[in-house]
Structure 1
Amino acid sequence: MAVKIESKITGYSVLSNEDKAREAAAAPAATAAAPAPVAEAPKDNIVQMHERIERPEVLIGSTYKIKSPLVEHAFYVTINDIVLNANTEHELRRPFEIFINSKSMEHFQWIVALTRIMSAVFRKGGDVTFIVEEMKAVFDPRGGYFKAGGVYMPSLVAELGSIVEEHMKSIGLLHDPEMSAHQKALIAEKRKQYEDRSKKRDAPAAAVEKREEDVEVTGEGTSFPPSATMCHKCSTKALVVMDGCATCLNCGYSKCN
């Protein structure tokens, strides 16, 4: 290929075969000495919950029923979830919105306000589990009540918070602290001791009637005696007196320990 020389030639030399060999040997060394190009970090494609996420056409959710003695009609609580990073290893369900429906129109205003605020908190993203403790700490000045199973609820709002907690546990957003094997064995031993003592004290026929009454009164398949009082640790009506010591048959708490 012809090359046009624009400037004057000031000198020249003949390139020998030895010069070509030296240049060829120096080229790989220069390439090895050059710094390797820095690879670009892979882009983070994990979608986190934030308020700019648009609502999908279809959401999955669950509906829970609240029947409180404080209101005439039942409340139906629906919590819908959004699925982030679907079909990937980073798939996550997050609560997206909440609705409460009831025939009790006397509570309409605060129910609408509460559900809108809670839905806004869910859509904001971040750690939304704090809302559970805030709601469960609300007390009714008229007094609380025991729901089925003997669990004490200080207010209707507190039971709503309990339902949100239950839902978050079901989708993996909250986790129950697991009891140790020692705690489970202790509770089983205490329950057996109480049942054995009841059998010895009562006649066989009366004992059968008493056990049937226990299940009927407390509900949900539990067998806590109707005479049990509330345990301040687990808020369950399962505290009985055994050997002169108040003992909880639900969580194993003992006043003497």
Structure 2
Amino acid sequence: MAVRIDKKIKGYAVVTPEDKAKPAATQADSVPRADAGAELPSADVIQMHERIERPEVLVGSTYKIKSPLVEHAMYVTINDIVLNQGSEHEQRRPFEIFINSKSMEHFQWIVALTRIMSAVFRKGGDVTFLVEEMKAVFDPKGGYFKAGGVYMPSLVAELGSIVEDHLKSIGMIHDPEMSPERRALIAEKRAAFESRSKKKREPASPVEPTHGRLGQDRDTESVAVTGEGASFPPSATMCHKCSTKAVVIMDGCATCLNCGYSKCG
């Protein structure tokens, strides 16, 4: 029986009697394989996405910002949602952020910023890019030093720093640990600076009650402890590597007592 071909032939192959017997066996094997693939165990892991509904209760943390740019303190609350609770895939992800303060001068842009950030949190994926974007915002009027001598270029940058600390606490950002050698170097530099400061204060023996006490206080002020648990002197300058006011001159070279950076290597 002749078969008329209306379409253009793009290729051909010769079918042998042995090939005719193969399709039946192949088809018989293909069905169990498909069924076996469907029966394979798969982990039902829930990832963060914008279709997840907000639970009745969320866990979170509240951070306080006391900036010289605003009269009243600002309180930043970041709430997290717990995904895959009770399983080996359990993880916390930021879900929403709120900022509250008595100062109303920044109310408009604060509401806009928190709504956009909350939308990005609920979108899911890698939300750590918000940290770098916010910390790169500079105030044209100038920044400020917060407690501990850390320089903040703007109020938005400090908000980004708080978001960074929160993401570190829930495991989304991993802070690289400092090597033991660098820690030992920083401890050595601090000990050398403190011993040198003590030697400078020793000759100041208060013979005259008033002038001697003032002179001693002036020397003590140059090595006083500042910040929250940090022993950086007030006379220190800002480090361009860690943005902390902890750079002192030691042996004719500027050395950071916080991260160990030195211009002399």
Q: Which residue of 2 aligns with 1:195?
A: 194
Indicate whether 1:233 and 2:241 are aligned.
yes
The counterpart of 2:230, out of the listed 201, 209, 222, is 222
Residue 198 of structure 1 contacts residue 207 of structure 1 at CA under 8 Å; is this kept in 2? no
Taking the aligned partners of 1:239 and 1:99, their CA distance within structure 2 comes to: 35
SS at the partner of 2:127? coil
For the aligned residue pairs, the C-alpha RMSD in angstroms reads: 2.0
* Residues 206-253 of structure 1: per-residue CA shift (max 9 Å, x gap): 4997279722xx221211111000000000000000011000000000
* Residues 134-186 of structure 1: per-residue CA shift (max 9 Å, x gap): 00000000000000000000000000000000001111111111111111111
TM-score by length of 2: 0.80
Q: Which residue of 2 aligns with 1:148?
A: 147
Residue 140 of structure 1 contacts residue 154 of structure 1 at CA under 8 Å; is this kept in 2? yes
The counterpart of 2:220, out of the listed 206, 210, 235, is 210
TM-score by length of 1: 0.82
Residue type at the aligned position of 1:255: K
Taking the aligned partners of 1:210 and 1:92, their CA distance within structure 2 comes to: 49
The Cα of 1:41 is off from its aligned counterpart by 2.5
Residue type at the aligned position of 2:101: S
Residue type at the aligned position of 2:220: K
Q: Which residue of 1 aligns with 2:111?
A: 112
**CA shift in 2, pair 1:208/1:47, >3 Å:** farther
The Cα of 1:123 is off from its aligned counterpart by 0.2
SS at the partner of 1:121? helix
Residue 201 of structure 2 contacts residue 219 of structure 2 at CA under 8 Å; is this kept in 1? no
**CA shift in 2, pair 1:117/1:238, >3 Å:** same
**CA shift in 2, pair 1:219/1:239, >3 Å:** same
Taking the aligned partners of 1:97 and 1:60, their CA distance within structure 2 comes to: 11
SS at the partner of 1:141? coil
Indicate whether 1:160 and 2:159 are aligned.
yes
Residue 242 of structure 2 contacts residue 259 of structure 2 at CA under 8 Å; is this kept in 1? yes
Point out where structure 2 has 5 or more consecutive residues left out of the alignment: 1-27, 205-215
Taking the aligned partners of 1:97 and 1:174, their CA distance within structure 2 comes to: 18
**CA shift in 2, pair 1:75/1:61, >3 Å:** same
Taking the aligned partners of 2:142 and 2:55, their CA distance within structure 1 comes to: 41
Taking the aligned partners of 2:47 and 2:221, their CA distance within structure 1 comes to: 51
Residue 211 of structure 1 contacts residue 223 of structure 1 at CA under 8 Å; is this kept in 2? no
Q: Which residue of 2 aligns with 1:127?
A: 126
The Cα of 1:196 is off from its aligned counterpart by 1.2
Taking the aligned partners of 2:181 and 2:91, their CA distance within structure 1 comes to: 33
**CA shift in 2, pair 1:209/1:88, >3 Å:** farther
Q: Which residue of 1 aligns with 2:11?
A: none
Q: Which residue of 2 aligns with 1:6?
A: none
Taking the aligned partners of 1:142 and 1:180, their CA distance within structure 2 comes to: 37
Counting aligned pairs with the same residue, the percent is: 80
* Residues 11-34 of structure 1: per-residue CA shift (max 9 Å, x gap): xxxxxxxxxxxxxxxxxxxxxxx8
SS at the partner of 2:108? helix
Residue 233 of structure 1 contacts residue 253 of structure 1 at CA under 8 Å; is this kept in 2? yes
The Cα of 1:200 is off from its aligned counterpart by 1.5
The structure with more radius of gyration: 1
Query: What pairs up with 1:37-76 in 2 under 5 angstroms?
Result: 37-38=32-33, 39=36, 40-76=39-75
Deviation larger for 195-204 or 171-180: 195-204
Taking the aligned partners of 1:143 and 1:254, their CA distance within structure 2 comes to: 26
Taking the aligned partners of 1:106 and 1:213, their CA distance within structure 2 comes to: 38
